[in-house]
Structure 1
Amino acid sequence: MSKTVLVSSASHFNQLLGSTKILVTDFYADWCGPCKAIAPIYEQLSAQLSRPQKVTFVKVDTERQKEVAQKYNVASLPTFMIFKDQHVVSTVQGADPRKLSELVKKIAAEADSDGLGGFGEASDSGTGWLGMGLPKGYDNVTDQVDVRGLDLLNADSNFGGARTLFDASKPSALQGGKGKGSAQAGEETKDWAESDTDEQLMLFIPFQSTLKVHSLHITSLPSKDIGAEADEVPMRPKTIQLYSNRAHVLGFEEADDVEPTQAITLQQEDWDTTTGTVKVDLRYVKFQNVSSLVLFVVDGEGDGERVRIDRLRVVGEKGSKRELGKLEKIGDETGE
């Protein structure tokens, strides 16, 4: 279903301007051949990049909405204008698919990263860096993670904790560095998590609202230091078990006796070679009303003794807000 909004009046356009950070506008006319030619590209961009209250795509029929077209001096068709915080920041005249696509994707990416606090705190501006594109019809809902209730078992304290995994920033390993500068001058914090005594990790993720979870994006960027032995190199997760709607984190022994909601085995070719990210598709029918997840990394890919995770993103749909406090178990954890 199209996410593009057809502007019905000048006041409607002004209302849209004030309700989103980025407004991508297509000024067109029904008689305009080039407008019709580029329309499918525009709709595709709209489906891929629309974000509630962040990036909105609209169409303005210049024959019907002459007041809007005149206000912004539209002299040729098609004309695409991109507004940021209610101000025009870019204009593309003519049906140039490549130029339009590059410009819109660039500004949409900026909208995802503008004004974000660290460590996954909820923000109206979004949840920052993404290692993979979003599937059509779903959003990055990582801002719904209740960071105050996160729990990560068997994590090496020399590395980042659970909040690090939901940090809004791009992993330092993708920026050519080994860590991020800390508050103490001359120090670096390792902005990823690694397991401690063995390759297993157990992460409890509570949410601020019930979610429909479509998939998880896990980023893991192991690096091999010169001279390091094979078993000293951290591994990417291989076998993962997920448990939905638990009231608290599971113990490792307890997990052996509890049937997971879903078990996943990742292959080496599943990982994106550029961002070090894998998309974990969930059995959507089993993750419809999710108040919490437990992610259990059972083992890693390789001969190492530790597993590394740099970032974790949650993709799906937001549901109703829950009252913070004790989590309630919702539905049958093992049934369809």
Structure 2
Amino acid sequence: MSKTITISSREQFSELLKSSSIVVADFYADWCGPCKQIAPFFEQLSRQLSQPGVATFVKINTETEAGKQVGAEYAVTSLPTFILFRHGSVVEQVRGSDPRRLQAVVEQLASDIEKAGQSGGGGGSSSASGSGSGGLAWRGADLPRGYTDLSDVINIPGLDWSNVDESVFSKRTLYSREKPSALNKSGGASDSKDWIESDTDEQVMLYVPFNATVKLHTLQITSLPPTEDEDEDEDELPMRPKTIKIFTNRPHILDFSEAEDTQATQEIELGEDDWNKDGTANIGLRFVRFQNVTSVVIFVVDGDGDSEKVRLDRIRLIGETGEKREMGKLEKIGDEPGE
């Protein structure tokens, strides 16, 4: 017997996102040949991995009223499209009838499904930050609907930075999918140094190239400096960033004088109210300025205090990859030309 749930209303889908830790949604149409080709494979994954309250596989017919509403909400413009949710937030999208791609993405969730099942489930109403273990990325803030975490398309070997104390971490630390160790202890302190701090002053320059052209929608920065009661001199405590400049499509990292004199794609100033309980600032970008992006430079100009050090625990770049098709016209993808 199939364990796949057919969505008949927008409210039904919203409730499933709240009640199931993981939801895998298949957006399809009856006229779509590639949708029919991959449907048996989707059913096979559903039979293997579905667990009540833990992992739910659903089918959404985009020709129905409910399907049109949900499809529009998540910017579904081609068929088939598979969207994977964790605690109600999009973690991945797969477009087209590509069983190997879909299986690879779902397999990333398999260990999390198994662990969640062993711990008795844990419906989707829990925090988006989650446990930080397994194949699913820890998040300090929810993803905006219709957009995904672009960590998988960051060109890790091409990462660069300036004025960073390199004695305790590697470049990939800042973009790790793991939950920051500081959140596992009270007060933000940790013996495991999985964050970065500036070196000679509070300024930090980060260069992030991508393996694909992307459109950036949101920047999420997590900063968890220790508190004053942790036996450190207040003047030596690292700060959260305050002023940030972002530059796009640079072939390499900028030097500090060049960044000071160059017009930024966007400049951001953060205040105390911008940081949530997990120490994350969710920064909306001017989307029209961040189209066709191949790299970004993130320049932390100053911090929110008098210290000479700034601390960064995690950075998430949120958006989409590739060209987005026009809204209002669903296309099938996967057929050979002429079919």
**Residue 221 of structure 2 corresponds to residue 199 of structure 1:** no
Provide the C-alpha distance between the structure 2 equivalents of 1:271 and 1:153, rounded to a whole number of angstroms: 25
Question: Which position in structure 2 is the counterpart of 1:290?
Answer: 293
Q: Secondary structure at the match of 1:103?
A: coil
5+ residue gaps, structure 2, are 1-9, 14-24, 61-65, 75-82, 95-108, 115-120, 324-339
**Secondary structure at 1:239 match in 2:** strand
- Aligned position for 1:325: none
Rg (Cα) greater in structure: 1
Alignment of 1:112-261 (within 5 A): 113-115=133-135, 128-176=137-185, 178-179=189-190, 189-224=192-227, 225-261=229-265
**Superposed CA offset, 1:249-281 (max 9, x none):** 000011122111110000111000x21000111
Q: What is the identity, as a one-letter code, of the residue corresponding to 1:285? A: V
In structure 2, what is the Cα distance between the partners aligned to 1:223 and 1:111? 21
Question: Against the structure 1 CA distance between its residues 46 and 152, is the aligned structure 2 distance closer, same or farther, given a 3 Å change threshold?
Answer: closer
CA distances 1:12-42 after superposition (whole Å, capped 9, x unpaired): 65322457877624699xxxxxxx9xx99xx
Give the Cα separation in 2 of the matches to 1:235 and 1:103.
35
Alignment of 1:273-288 (within 5 A): 274-288=277-291
The amino acid that maps onto 2:56 is: V
Question: TM-score if structure 1 supplies the norm length?
Answer: 0.63
Q: Could you give the per-residue CA deviations for residues 221-266 of structure 1, whole angstroms, max 9, x where no partner exists? A: 0003534332111100000000000000000011122111110000
Aligned to 1:255, the other structure's residue is in SS state helix
Matches within 5 A, 1:75-86: none
Aligned AA (2:220): H
Looking at structure 1, the residues matched to 59 and 252 of structure 2 have their Cα atoms a distance apart, in angstroms, of: 52
**Residues 19 and 204 (structure 1), Cα distance of their counterparts in 2 relative to 1, 3 Å cut:** farther
Identity %, equivalent residues? 40
The answer on whether the counterparts of 1:237 and 1:297 sit within 8 Å (CA) in structure 2 is yes
* Contact 1:213–1:316 (Cα < 8 Å) also in 2: yes
Q: Which moved more, 1:209-218 or 1:153-162?
A: 153-162
Structure 1 gaps of 5+ residues are 29-35, 55-83, 90-99, 116-125, 180-187, 321-336
Question: In the aligned structure 1, how far is the partner of 2:166 from the partner of 2:128?
Answer: 36
- Answer yes or no: is 1:311 the counterpart of 2:314: yes
Q: Please tell me whether the aligned partners of residues 92 and 149 of structure 2 are also in contact (alpha carbons under 8 angstroms).
A: no
- State the AA in 2 paired with 1:193: I
Q: How many residues align?
A: 249
C-alpha contact 1:204 1:249 (8 A) present in aligned 2: yes
Q: 1:278 to 1:12 in 2, by over 3 A?
A: same
Could you tell me which amino acid in structure 1 is paired with residue 297 of structure 2? Answer: V
> What is the CA RMSD across the aligned residues, in angstroms?
4.0
CA contact (8 A) 1:131 1:276 kept: yes
